[in-house]
Structure 1
Amino acid sequence: MATADVSTMAIAGLHRPPTSHDFAMSLAVLPHPEEQPEISDGTLNALGELFVRHSAHNIFGIHLLHSHFAAPEGTVLFGVQFQVSGASQACWTKPVPAAELATESIHGHVFRLQSDGTFVPYEFHEGEASSEAAHTGPAFFRELAEFLHCSNLAGLIALQLLDGPRDKTNMELLAGPQSTVMMDEKDLIGFSPPRITTGWSFTVGDDGIICCKGNDVYSAKKNTQQVFQDSKPLPTVEALKEALRAEGVIA
């Protein structure tokens, strides 16, 4: 497996407009969260050691490779931040025509390992990535790619840029026919287990022990698998918030 361009591709995806390759990534059929197997404790421990060894644990985490819908041709998945209540932030992700993002400030957020050893973004967020992410050494991406390849995990685990604080649990919901919302579970009402963890980060305690935390989860609302799934696409953040309130998702 070629790995020479691993770091180049991963870093380039942090600071560039979407390309035609990203269209293919967004259109690629990925398993739903329920269809993916659990990531074992042994794998999480090994990844934690790898991330900490390269001092990448404060910058990147891992992501359960999955999707809830296929993005239309010519679009990429793009997430924007919005305020829910007080200082609490949420992220609304939906397919956006790539042409609309060509001049915007965006960065890659979730990266999928390709067969040639490169990490390619298939989800973007608004704004610029941290300078620490852009300066992560190539050895980290190379070793991570080799680990995922040799462990047959490239179809299960993606690389995720850590945007925002890690002292909370974010819950992902389907919102409308082709969008998702990720928000602090403390801002949500009417939700119950089971939950599927979809994002993890790693920390090092004062005793030197590496810990793994499930920061992102996917959960059904009131024993269903979607939130107003059959509605028309929501045009604005305000329309989204109104719909969430109407469905009893937020207060």
Structure 2
Amino acid sequence: MSLQELCNDFDREMYNGLLSIEAANQTVRTEDRLDGFLSAAAKLFVRHNVHERFGVGLLHKHNTCEPGERMVQYDCTMDDERALVTMPVRDAADPTKEIPNVWAVSDRSYVPLEYTTDVTARDSFHAGEVPAAFLSDFADLVGTAPAGGLFGLAVVKRALAQSAQDSEILLEYSDPVQRKNIVLLRHSDAAPKSITTAWTFEARSNEVTGETECISTQRCNCIVDDPGVPGMPPKHSHMPAPHHHQRPA
């Protein structure tokens, strides 16, 4: 399938209709729905050899988009620290600087719900055509799995994560006042109250059986309401204005 077929228009109504992170997480974790979906997805992604390019995202929203807006993630510097900032913008999509990176599946079509300028994500997206059989199989999985509609296709890799130590993870903080979502690199125990929102998949050899196992690994956590998280801004506090490496003027 041509990559152009994944570059559809942002759907504001679909984005605004997404659940909150807490509600989405609670729904997919009921009756082991999350583990069941990830297990099936891991085998699917590895079988089609797309596990190094794509992953799965938990579809949710922190903010809403006004008419003419869409959600875009920028590679930024905030207080001399590398960050990823996602916000509603009115700029027209520029395919030379950004790519869609989260899709919902609706009527077997892939609908972009977020874009990113991150260079690593862009490289993953443009690594080649996407097998039509994979997109069809993933649409089947979303359509048949319990709460499958809360999972979307995602380009998960980010340049920010490439410098992470083994003990570090990507943590996302939401500022509803400025309608910004900020991802920072933090120690894994910095946010005891957090929700995993993105997963990638790996194929590993079982040392006992010698068989190949397909497993999921988390890539990003979203911080829930915890004003005392070390190293993170207080809830609803004023965020410093980010300096964007690739943000349009």
TM-score by length of 1: 0.75
Q: 1:84 to 1:102 in 2, by over 3 A?
A: closer
Residue-by-residue CA offset, 1:170-227 (whole Å, 9 max, x unaligned): 11101352110112223x99x4322211111111124422221111111133369x84
- The Cα shift of 1:69 comes to 1.4
Task: Report what 1:213 is aligned to.
Answer: 217
| More deviation, 121-130/173-182 | 121-130
Task: Report what 1:160 is aligned to.
Answer: 154
Structure 2: runs of 5+ lacking an equivalent: 207-211, 245-249
Task: Report what 1:92 is aligned to.
Answer: 85
Q: 1:229 aligns with which of 220, 233, 236?
A: 236
Q: What is the CA–CA distance in structure 2 between the aligned matches of 1:129 and 1:24, rounded to whole Å?
A: 29
Q: Is the aligned partner of 1:29 residue 2:20?
A: no
Q: Aligned letter for 2:57?
A: H
User: Which residues in structure 2 correspond to 1:62-81 (within 5 Å)?
Assistant: 62-81=56-75
TM-score by length of 2: 0.75
Q: Identity percentage over the alignment?
A: 21
Q: What is the CA–CA distance in structure 1 between the aligned matches of 2:123 and 2:5, rounded to whole Å?
A: 10
Q: Is the aligned partner of 1:46 residue 2:73?
A: no
Task: Report what 2:198 is aligned to.
Answer: 199
Task: Report what 2:109 is aligned to.
Answer: 118
Q: 1:192 to 1:131 in 2, by over 3 A?
A: closer
User: Which residues in structure 2 correspond to 1:165-184 (within 5 Å)?
Assistant: 165=161, 168-177=168-177, 178-184=179-185
- The Cα shift of 1:155 comes to 2.5
- The Cα shift of 1:151 comes to 1.8
Q: What is the CA–CA distance in structure 2 between the aligned matches of 1:158 and 1:97, rounded to whole Å?
A: 24
Aligned length: 220
Q: What is the CA–CA distance in structure 2 between the aligned matches of 1:43 and 1:157, rounded to whole Å?
A: 9
- Aligned-pair Cα RMSD in Å: 3.2
Task: Report what 1:245 is aligned to.
Answer: none
